[in-house]
Amino acid sequence: MAFSRVPLSRAPLCRHSYLSSLLPFSFSHLTLSLLPNRTRLNNLSASLSTQEPAPSIDSSSANPKQSNRWKPMCLYFTQGKCTMMNDPIHLEKFNHNCSGELKVSSPTVKQTRSQQLDFFLVLDLEGKVEILEFPVLMLDAKTMDVVDMFHRFVRPSAMSEQRINEYIEGKYGKIGVDRVWHDTAIPFEEVIQQFEAWMVQHDLLGKELNGRLSRAAFVTCGNWDLKTKVPQQCEVSRMVLPPYFMEWINLKDIYLNFYKRRATGMITMMKELQIPLVGSHHLGIDDTKNIARVLQHMLADGALLKITARRNPGNPENVEFFFRNRIR
């Protein structure tokens, strides 16, 4: 499967408030995060300053002599909070080009099947006790390009500060992103408000659909994210489960039925498809990117993605699974 480099494109910023998430910003396709697990993302807090946010710019055009060497992704930028976009030193040190390696070549696109949906929302949550990270990549089902990205770190609501600090140090400290998490994490209910504004901006939600997705479906690596964790977090946050979380596509089940072999997780699928692991495993935005790469590979091989699980609207705890052969 061939991927080619593409220039950074402009896309919207989602800010903290519901309405301001509709403001324009230089925020594009995908985080480029090639950091080995043993390497720390040093001084990421440098991308957050007390000055007002800089005007949106394309960092690649601002620095035409930009080299191809790997640079750590600015995780403030992925959340629309980088205020140093006019600082050439910062731009030289940190990557702000989210298009990454996920642009698919034209010959590869021609091999794909026509899909029943227009967009896939690749989601991979992080956090066993409470959700800590909420990353989503929006893929065009026809071109396989990443249209946009939504990424937020999530602050637990039912844990003490001491427990949160221990939790984050154990989860993110080893890969050096604990500081950016503390600087940017917001409560789950705020994340959902901003996520809904982001979906509305992309015409993925409509009043006539009673809050359900239009022309799109979530794609997860397993059922845990939407079957188990989101409902648990909604209960902890005292929220009603949003209707757009009622159905999803489990990529493991699609993989099993398309290739006729089992893959228990993302790593197994990547090894079998000979896709190298990129970034830090269990950093949600990196895992989401790797799942998207598996999805692109499967689409290029001719896979047809269908809904694999749906909740009963009258009894949301009751989930119907549509594939007889599925990963349990």
What angle do the packed helices 284-300 and 251-259 form, to 10 degrees?
A: 30
Annotation says 90 is catalytic: no
Secondary structure, 3-state, 225-275? HHHHHHHHHHHHCCCCCCHHHCEEEEHHHHHHHHHCCCCCCHHHHHHHCCC
**What is the rounded CA–CA span in Å between residue 312 and residue 27?**
36
Q: Give me the sign of the Cα torsion angle 65, 68, 73, 77.
A: positive
Cα 28 to Cα 10, 96, 99, 145, 281: the distances in Å are 6, 9, 6, 11, 22
Which of the residues 126, 130, 133, 247 is marked catalytic?
A: 126
**What is the rounded CA–CA span in Å between residue 172 and residue 229?**
19
**What is the rounded CA–CA span in Å between residue 101 and residue 3?**
6
Contact 46, 84 (CB under 8 A): yes
- Give the tokens for residue 322: 């549509």
Annotation says 190 is catalytic: no
**What is the rounded CA–CA span in Å between residue 197 and residue 213?**
13
Which of the residues 16, 182, 190, 282 is marked catalytic?
A: 282
**What is the rounded CA–CA span in Å between residue 325 and residue 321?**
10
Active site positions, annotated: 126, 282
